[in-house]
Structure 1
């Protein structure tokens, strides 16, 4: 299991001897892992000492000339009556060992100043919503950007 709030890997040791026994794995010892959630498989890698992004587990769905890094986050809000949790994805583009925040349409287009029209057109064609990004559509967008 993956505790998205704490960015930790949890192992369920539920067997006949232990009832609901969980162990938090030392994050430093985990390079990567896969998890199934809502009929999708997510492959997360432990990114350490990368210049420009925080250490932690990132989904990296595209490995090409451009790489897409997705940080899955949950924010806790307490309004003195109820505690709520809000899910968010932060998107990073890795190009030539530099990371760029692409969590909005504007930020993404800014990375391709010579191809703004083409990139805008592709975003519109794929119907990409940067508030709730779809990783498969983002991969198609990156493949298009690599071909420019």
Structure 2
């Protein structure tokens, strides 16, 4: 009887040991589950941000480049997939109209443009605007630099074209930049490239707007963007009810 009892306890012990191993193998204990959940919650946003395709820098030996302002990384602010991220090393490829960020391991990550609401870098705020929704139907969907965000909004589409020239039997890439400025009056945007076209948008205040440029000594041809923003901002003040 005593031997039989010992045998029963022996098999019960094996059963409990086996059950304990299955629980340990099936998942974390209560002590470890909570920290793991916290880690997943804290990193879920950044994992979404760094989940893009790898970007390969092209024409990296050319003097001119495809990026906005600088070829080097600059920290910026990014609104991506409904979440805001600060101090993110980024580059803006103007030629392809794409935003690139730097991964922790040094890789270049290409973000999905449709998930970007806006990004701020080098004192410029770029918003992604869709044709027929935020801008005119004939305007191109993409990132626009917001120069003035008042009632009469002013934006600029910065583009680069890729050109090639041969020097000493080597192909050199050139990236001339062009800036297309648009002023929103009412429900539509109007392209503005000259002083005349800017003033014609506000015919009732032409005299006052010319005077502002003269008083502030702003030369339109030398400082086109500053001149247009000054005209638009002054108009908003004069037209204020």
Task: Tell me which interval the TM-score lies in, with the shorter structure as reference length.
Answer: 0.7 to 0.9
Q: Which runs of 5+ in 1 are unaligned?
A: none
Change (3 A) 1:97 1:8: same
Higher helix fraction (1 or 2):
2
Higher relative contact order (CA 8 A, sep 6+): 1
Aligned residue for 1:31, secondary structure, equals strand
Contact 1:93 1:102 (C-alpha < 8 Å) held by counterparts = yes
Provide the residue aligned with 2:213 in structure 1.
123
Give me the CA root mean square deviation: 2.1
- Structure 1 residue 46 and structure 2 residue 128: aligned? yes
Max radius of gyration: which structure? 2
TM-score using structure 1 length? 0.80
How many residue pairs get aligned? The number is 139
Contact 1:32 1:44 (C-alpha < 8 Å) held by counterparts = yes
- Structure 1 residue 73 and structure 2 residue 131: aligned? no
- Structure 1 residue 30 and structure 2 residue 120: aligned? no
Higher strand fraction (1 or 2):
1
* CA distance, structure 2, for counterparts of residue 139 and residue 106 of structure 1: 14
1:63 counterpart (149, 157, 162) = 149
- How far is 1:133 from its partner? 3.0
- How far is 1:68 from its partner? 0.4
Contact 1:128 1:138 (C-alpha < 8 Å) held by counterparts = no
2:180 counterpart (72, 90, 94) = 90
Change (3 A) 1:83 1:107: same
Q: Which runs of 5+ in 2 are unaligned?
A: 1-90
